[in-house]
Amino acid sequence: MAAWGERLAGVRGVLLDISGVLYDSGEGGGKVIAGSVEAVARLKRSGLKVRFCTNESQKSRRHLVAELRHLGFDVSESEVTAPPPAACRILKERGLRPHLLVHDDAGESFSYQNMNKAFQVLMGLENPVLISLGMGRYYKVTSGLMLDVGGYTKALEYACGVQAEVVGKPSPEFFKSALREMGVEARQAVMIGDDIVGDVGGAQRCGMRALQVRTGKFRPSDEHHPEVKADGHVGNLAEAVDLLLQHADK
């Protein structure tokens, strides 16, 4: 593989995934991934553009940012791209009235009953529209790996014979809105995430570069994924920032 200098040449903006990169969510607000608080601070001082790009849909941006600030991160609401505001825009633009299957009825409260209700609503529509807030396979909390929303979306797609519109990673539209908000072009941006498919594969399909951290939901088999090859693997965010400060354009 090419040297880091070559792989990171021309980078002007950095998209950071949050869960599994900054911290592992879980009981009591979660746990910082060692070195990440300082890494974010150094990145923001460096002159590189920085934006947080998350599929978090169980908490509002306000709640998420409060949790991160409490852990010591320098982050504000206006720096975060997340699915719920994007989904609200779509609903308004098209004049759709949603049946909501979101927190507190989703997440760990997914049940046969609330899935079946969503299924019945979709089957009753002449032109069913299914909007999914992300398409994650699983995420990591302090106690282990947890099923994410993608599987539940697949269940409804299969049962109803519809295809979901994904608002969140790995939807290209979602990455593009984060790039627009950051004011950087895809070829000048690098995504740093722990999800080989949703973060790395999704960002690369948009023309960005992407590094996978070996924290969060990272698994050793990701380094030999049959379809996605990261532009590099790093131990954690701190190591990624070291490399960026050494090699990226500032």
Q: Interface with a copy of itself by CB under 8 A: which residues?
A: 107-113, 115-116, 119-120, 123, 137-138, 144-148, 150-152, 154-161
| Closest CB to a copy of itself among residues 137, 247 | 137
**Structure tokens that stand for 220 in this block:** 């050793």
| Closest CB to a copy of itself among residues 78, 113 | 113
Closest approach of a copy of itself to the CB of residue 87, in Å = 21
| Closest CB to a copy of itself among residues 41, 121 | 121
Please give the helix or strand (H or E) that residue 81 lies within, else none. strand 80-81
Closest approach of a copy of itself to the CB of residue 208, in Å = 23
Closest approach of a copy of itself to the CB of residue 70, in Å = 26
Q: Which of 151, 150, 199 shows the shortest CA–CA distance to 175?
A: 199
Tokens 């599929």: give the residue. 55
**Whether 248 contacts 43, CB under 8 Å:** no
CA 50/CA 190 separation, integer angstroms: 10
Closest approach of a copy of itself to the CB of residue 115, in Å = 6
**Structure tokens that stand for 25 in this block:** 């969510």
Region at 72 (left for phi over 0; alpha for psi -120 to 50; beta for the rest): left
Closest approach of a copy of itself to the CB of residue 78, in Å = 32
Tell the burial category of 104 from Cβ atoms under 10 Å away from its Cβ (0-12, 13-18, 19+).
Answer: exposed
| Closest CB to a copy of itself among residues 76, 120 | 120
| Closest CB to a copy of itself among residues 41, 146 | 146
**Whether 13 contacts 49, CB under 8 Å:** yes
